Structure 1
């Protein structure tokens, strides 16, 4: 009986936390369908009196958010794909390929985690300027192409692959690339999905670096364009909420599509790491 009451209490607490977490998001979605000024009433309405899509039409037709949406999607997708490739190769090499000084290099990388990313922005900007990558999509992708945290996750997960399995493949004549693609990569699939979500989220939500490296307004990403729009329409809560929904929707869809693999990667990684 005590266990039954404990289960009820835990579920009730989880339900309260879920309501508190989802409440602001649901209200944001509701406000995005309201008429201008309707959300400013007191008390604020929970639902629109007559739902309208005018805020979304204004957002894409007049504010040009469609172009910025495509910019963010292209940059975030490029970062996700290229960071997966680089982090996976580096993490697997640190975990399973023996080389002189491997552990010292890895410890040096871990030590660099304590350095704030903002410290490296100015040197990185000057370097990209000399390379002609300022005001380019590739320049906006550079900071996310390889991350120490991603390398660390892949390394810790790859260490769970039995060395005997890899040695048996080498004895059978398999090369290192074949071992990586046919043996290691399928095992790493859960953590790769987790890294894909992290990479996409990081690039999609990034504000500071695109603001610095993308001076052309036509190349700005969605967060930067939305911040600029908020200064022009500071009192238009409904339009701002519509912009927030457009910003959140892609990452929400991506997470819902991959949540099974994402949770599997976190749980298995915690056991095997």
Structure 2
């Protein structure tokens, strides 16, 4: 049976020497990518006094770092982050799929201008938007509600993300028009077609948006910094900065808190990795 070649041409290397070279290269790749994560995991359960001397070998294992982190209120900050990312992600997906359906499946004047305006928002860095965003959140137009000092102020701004809208638009454009026409012949309306025909086909794209959207919201730092007015409103990203600035908190406690901040992203990726890979593969085939 013919073996497939690899990107590095390792498939052409035969014999014992070839196996040794492959094992060495694979071990090097695993060490480069998994080494920092393993060092973080080991150090979170160890006594770390110098952040420049992390180790991959466990010794003097203890839970004191996590106990101290919990005493510093890290669980409360983690709960705030989960509330923000949960509400923000649901809102973001709802806005993305509905906006994409209108842009991809409906024809109306100015659709290209709308896409251009959505795309242009990706060109503006967060630092430029910080002051205007804080003014808007302090007095939301039409509603005249002040969202500063509330978790809602961290959720609403991430509800509309240009990247998510554009990705969903491109996926929905590739849905065969015959499926929609067949549904209309059966008497289905726009809402039924959207829910029962378009969304199931775009499930891989939803997996991609779930991972990227979760990561984008979870890593937010400037937005919580603008909104939070009290330590009880801090997300875990802000809490890590506060813990780092506190001289009374040891390095091990900071590493344990960082591990807690890392775990949700890993869990979400593992849960959605199948849909994520299908989404990337579908995009590559369509492109």
Q: TM-score, normalised by structure 2?
A: 0.87
CA spacing shift, 1:11–1:81, aligned 2, 3 Å: farther
What do residues 68-108 of structure 1 show as CA deviations (whole Å, max 9, x unaligned)?
01000000111111101100111121111111211221123
Unaligned runs of 5+ in 1: none
Per mean C-alpha deviation after superposition, the further-off stretch among 191-200 and 176-185 is 191-200
Partner of 1:243: 257
More helix by share: 1
Partner of 1:168: 182
Name the CA distance, whole Å, in 2 between partners of 1:143 and 1:44: 38
SS of residue matched to 1:178: helix
Contact kept, 8 Å, 1:86 with 1:146, in 2: the verdict is yes
CA spacing shift, 1:129–1:235, aligned 2, 3 Å: closer
Unaligned runs of 5+ in 2: 4-8, 140-144
What do residues 230-272 of structure 1 show as CA deviations (whole Å, max 9, x unaligned)?
1114772211111110110111111111111111111112222
Partner of 1:223: 237
What do residues 137-182 of structure 1 show as CA deviations (whole Å, max 9, x unaligned)?
1111122101111111001111110112212222322100000000
Instruction: Select 2:42's aligned residue among 30, 47, 66.
Output: 30
Name the CA distance, whole Å, in 1 between partners of 2:262 and 2:35: 15
Contact kept, 8 Å, 1:81 with 1:196, in 2: the verdict is no
What do residues 37-73 of structure 1 show as CA deviations (whole Å, max 9, x unaligned)?
3x569x654333221001001100x201111010000
CA spacing shift, 1:240–1:256, aligned 2, 3 Å: same
CA spacing shift, 1:225–1:175, aligned 2, 3 Å: same
Partner of 2:58: 48
Residue 20, structure 1, aligned to residue 22, structure 2: no
Per mean C-alpha deviation after superposition, the further-off stretch among 100-109 and 154-163 is 100-109
SS of residue matched to 2:37: helix
Per mean C-alpha deviation after superposition, the further-off stretch among 118-127 and 229-238 is 229-238
CA spacing shift, 1:21–1:124, aligned 2, 3 Å: same
Residue 193, structure 1, aligned to residue 202, structure 2: no
> Structure 2 matches for 1:133-144, cutoff 5 A?
133-144=147-158
> Structure 2 matches for 1:1-273, cutoff 5 A?
3-5=11-13, 13-37=25-49, 45-60=55-70, 62-130=71-139, 131-233=145-247, 236-273=250-287
CA spacing shift, 1:45–1:178, aligned 2, 3 Å: closer
SS of residue matched to 1:70: helix
Contact kept, 8 Å, 1:140 with 1:213, in 2: the verdict is yes
Partner of 2:142: none
Cα RMSD over matched residues?
Answer: 2.2
Q: TM-score, normalised by structure 1?
A: 0.91
CA spacing shift, 1:69–1:120, aligned 2, 3 Å: same
CA spacing shift, 1:109–1:22, aligned 2, 3 Å: same
Contact kept, 8 Å, 1:31 with 1:47, in 2: the verdict is no
Structure having greater relative contact order (Cα 8 Å, sep ≥ 6): 1
SS of residue matched to 2:199: helix
